[in-house]
Amino acid sequence: MHVLQALSVSRRPAISFVSVGLFWGCFAAYVPEVKMRLGVSDASFGLLLLCNAFGLVSSMWIAPRLDRILGARGMQISGAVFAISLVLPGLAATPLQFAVSMVIVGAASGLADVLMNARVSELEQKFKCPLMNANHGMFSLAYAVAAFMSGLAREVQMAPSIAFVCVGFMILFLSLFVSMPLSVQQLPTTSETNYPFWPILICGLIVLIAFMTEATVETWSALHIERTLLGRASEGALGPAMLGITMAFGRFTGQAILEKFSQTSIIIVATLVTASGAGIAALAPNALWAYLGFAVLGLGVSVIGPLGLAMVGQKVSDHLRTEAISRVAVLGFSGFFLAPVLMGLVSEVAGLRVAFLCAAGLSLVLIPLTLSVRKM
């Protein structure tokens, strides 16, 4: 199915993907300024970002039940709550305030993530065609645009609080257009005798590593360019923007490639590309080489997470789909917050160059995990 056709079929969840991408692109560009305002070290800032994971995991764990309760309005309500929560990190003036705000943002973001991925998986089963990459491509495109525009906003000294509020209003507006009923009745799972534990675990680890690698660039690329390579604020913001652009291209291209090659083959090749990009970024002598590394990494990692979510949706029964995706999401999306912590700790000890090399090595673990899923 052509990318535009895929987006037409899944236009409502695609809008939700855009909404989530808008904030995280803006946030990534403002990371250096937020960190400087809090006055904390790399390791401490990484630990503060981990607070996001607490809210994320909590909301994702209960997402299947909330999905049944909220029904057709699920994506709308989760989008509105997410939009309102974005005011908090911009107003946080102390590490404690920032930590609390990130717990709340994480909870709202986690619920939106599970619901929109579950809707895409339902549509994939209904129309018997891949849709996940096209939708995640919309996230990446929105992320890139938001990161670039936020870099310009930083150049004119727009405060994070104002930028986050502006993005919140955009998300609130977009949430008006994402009402979508459940196409599959979600039934209780207490009587399930063959619970798909291993597909959920392995696919979850694939998504976890992919998103950890992605989050490494999202959170630390601007700092790498501004601090390690002595770039300006607008140059630093181009780091996450470059990632978003190539990830969008990779996901839209992956939508077409899936019709010709197997999921396993695509993930293995993408893993090798991802590791190469992380290595280039780590060893970059200047900002241009770092941009190249981030671009190559984004191109490779772009398809891995969506394919991990798509694979688990294919290996479980219909009434378990939202629950399975929520469990995979608990593992996978935690990577967005585990990575900043680990990167902060490694950076504190050995610098950001070594931290990016560690990300390259971690990504190679995806190959044996993917091969094991093929045998299930």
**What is the predicted pLDDT for the residue at 183?**
62
Tens-digit pLDDT profile for residues 358-375: 999 999 999 999 998 877
Q: Which of 24-33, 167-176, 206-215, 232-241 has the lowest mean pLDDT?
A: 232-241
In the chain, the N- to C-terminal Cα span, in Å, equals: 26
Residue predicted with more confidence, 342 or 202 = 202
Tens-digit pLDDT profile for residues 266-317: 999 999 999 999 999 999 999 999 999 999 999 999 999 989 888 887 777 7
Closest CA to 267 of 369, 189, 184: 369
**What is the predicted pLDDT for the residue at 186?**
47
Can you name the CATH fold of 3-183+195-374?
Answer: Growth Hormone; Chain: A; (1.20.1250)
- Distances, alpha carbon 311 to alpha carbons 135, 201, 320, 325, 355, in Å: 15, 12, 14, 10, 30
Closest CA to 180 of 255, 120, 114, 109: 120
Instruction: Give the contacts of 336 (CB within 8 A, at least 6 positions apart).
Output: 52, 53, 56, 211, 212, 214, 215, 218
Confidence bin at 164 (pLDDT 50/70/90): very high
- Mean pLDDT, the chain, whole residue set: 86
Tens-digit pLDDT profile for residues 13-71: 999 999 999 998 899 889 889 989 999 887 788 788 778 877 877 787 787 788 888 88
Q: Is the pLDDT of residue 228 over 80?
A: yes
Q: Is the pLDDT of residue 320 over 80?
A: no
Find which of 57-71, 84-98, 317-331 is predicted with most confidence, using mean pLDDT: 84-98
**What is the predicted pLDDT for the residue at 182?**
67
Q: Is the dihedral of CA 102, 105, 107, 109 positive or negative?
A: negative
Average pLDDT estimate for 163-184: 88
Instruction: Give the Cα separation of 174 and 171 in Å (integer).
Output: 5
- Per-domain residue ranges of the chain: 3-183+195-374
Closest CA to 109 of 53, 67, 169: 53
Q: Which of 131-135, 151-155, 185-189, 226-230 has the lowest mean pLDDT?
A: 185-189
Average pLDDT estimate for 231-237: 81
Average pLDDT estimate for 234-248: 84
Residue 319 DSSP code:
G
Confidence bin at 187 (pLDDT 50/70/90): very low
Tens-digit pLDDT profile for residues 55-87: 877 787 787 788 888 888 889 999 999 999 999
**What is the predicted pLDDT for the residue at 342?**
82
**What is the predicted pLDDT for the residue at 166?**
95
